[in-house]
A = this chain, B = another copy of it.
Amino acid sequence: MSLPHAILTALLEKPSSGLELTRRFDRSIGYFWSATHQQIYRELGKLERAGFIRALPSEQPARGQKKEFEVLPAGRAELTGWASGEQESKPIRDALLLRLRAAAVVGRTGLDEELRRHLGLHRRQLAEYEEIEGRDFGAAAEPADRLRRLVLRAGIGLETFWVAWLEEALAEVEEMAAGEDPAGTADADAGGRPGE
């Protein structure tokens, strides 16, 4: 139940059309909550029917015509309630970690290239976040900007972690390849299973 609240937040920051929202979900908000345009249009319809948002009156009701939405008081109240309550964070769900665990059982063919590729991606993302921080956030500003900067710093911290972990993982995998299994393709045994 977070996409509607992401949309309400974005619309409070600035009334927008579906496509404008889609673009903002590719940057900004999208850095920690992504959504496709199909999801956004579907959700805009629901929010409108629920009375949380309304289309800005601009006479065109037709398909292919731009349609801007703004948040109504009920929508702001809904968002306030959601933001101030309790909510558990979901456990980690990461396919790369899963694949590492699979590689422990079926062999680590191609693993080092994949780790290197991800390392490159995360380094690029980290650089992008750091550029945004340098460009948009200078000295301590008003509360709203300080909160947005905290969010950005979470992104920076996470990417920093991934870069460090991937470097560690790559070193470990290369050391394993240099060691007892020159081909690096043999299946590992299934005995022991610590970590259960």
Contact = CB atoms under 8 A, between A and B. Distances in A.
A36 interface: no
A13 B188 CA distance: 10
Contacts of A37: none
A17 interface: no
Contacts of A164: 157
Given A132-B195, A161-B158, A151 B101 contact: yes
Nearest to A76: B106
Contacts of A194: 135-137, 145, 148
Size class of the contact patch on chain A: 35 or more
Given A86-B117, A101-B29, A152 B195 contact: yes
Interface stretch (A50-58, A59-67, A168-176): A168-176
Given A193-B13, A196-B28, A102 B83 contact: yes
A56 to B, nearest CB: 16
A182 interface: no
A128 B114 CA distance: 29
A111 B84 contact: yes
Contacts of A135: 194
